Structure 1
Amino acid sequence: MEHEITVVDLPEQPTAVIRGRASPDSISDVLGHTFEAVARAAAGQGRQIAGPPFARYWTMDESGWDLEAGFPVDAPVVPDGEVEPSSLPACRAARLVHTGPYDTIGEALGEASHWLQEHGYVATDVHWESYLDGPEVQPPSTLVVVPCA
């Protein structure tokens, strides 16, 4: 797999998220529920969705992932049930667009990690994925973002 990787400077972006844990078998259900609940809460507060849904993965192991998922929004939300305010950081980041099954995003992330090392960068924070297509689009496109310095 060969992706075009670029380094960009990103501004901080307010987000509305739900934090949780998902296993490989439950990830699609967890994200589906999360995106619906966050969109509903944001709309109920008069917030505009400012980009595609994303998931930010804090820890990853064989049993699953600790993550926060939701949407970028035009202004911070107030906590509403399981929905809470967060943000994507202002940072320099390597990014690529992966087109293929969701279960191959890990390979693209590995490619980004290798690219960072080859080009003198180091990852500085956890990565996130923005889902440019819904699961009904085959193959879907996913933006992978890795903060770096």
Structure 2
Amino acid sequence: MLVTPTMPQVRFHSEEPTAVRRTVLDPEQLADWVPSACATVAEHLRLHGIAPAGYPFARYHALPDGEIEAEAGFPVAAPVTDSDQIEPSKLPAGPVLAVWHTDPDQQLAETYHTVDDWLDTTHAAPTGDRWEVYHDLPTCDRVGTRIEIIQPITFATT
């Protein structure tokens, strides 16, 4: 049985402080890096008595040389201080488009195409880097199959 991505949903996202690990890497390294980065952040939060305020996530930005700048971690109730491996960051406030990826046999790229198709057929435009929220907690070797893709957007005025 083929499960397609859910219908895109527009909603407002409140700004969230986050604790993240950052790196620059090749795109094919991302799937291996995200679970270990989330585990490192989770351990840092545990050692400092800080509870995550949401599910783990990853956000990345394509660089001109083909690499990506990535951050992965957890939302937190208040900004964290820098450490050797963990930095404060934030997820932006504003309107977003959310699409769920829940099919373990489907490529995540197909769900990204759903986001792109929606943007192409509406009066909306992306306003920043997307992020993935992992509703199955990442293990040491994978990120799970219940992934919500969040794309900040703006609506064109006519």
Q: Pick the TM interval, shorter chain.
A: 0.7 to 0.9
Q: Secondary structure at the match of 2:6?
A: coil
Using a 3 Å threshold, how does the CA distance of structure 1 residues 67 and 103 change in structure 2: closer, same or farther? farther
Using a 3 Å threshold, how does the CA distance of structure 1 residues 81 and 102 change in structure 2: closer, same or farther? farther
Aligned length: 149
Answer with 1 or 2: which has the greater Rg.
2
1:3 and 2:6 correspond = yes
Give 4+ residue runs of structure 1 displaced > 4 Å after superposition.
60-64
Distance 2:105 2:44 in 1: 26
Q: CA RMSD in A?
A: 2.6
Aligned to 1:92: 95
Structure 2 unaligned regions, length at least 5: none
1:67 aligned to which of 65, 70, 76: 70
Using a 3 Å threshold, how does the CA distance of structure 1 residues 67 and 82 change in structure 2: closer, same or farther? same
Aligned to 1:108: 111
Using a 3 Å threshold, how does the CA distance of structure 1 residues 135 and 82 change in structure 2: closer, same or farther? closer
Q: Deviations over 1:47-90 (max 9, x none)?
A: 21011110001117896532111111111110011110000001
2:59 aligned to which of 56, 61, 82: 56
Give the TM-score normalised by structure 1.
0.86
Aligned to 1:44: 47
CA contact (8 A) 1:45 1:77 kept: no
Aligned to 1:143: 148
Q: Deviations over 1:80-115 (max 9, x none)?
A: 111100000011000011112497222211211210
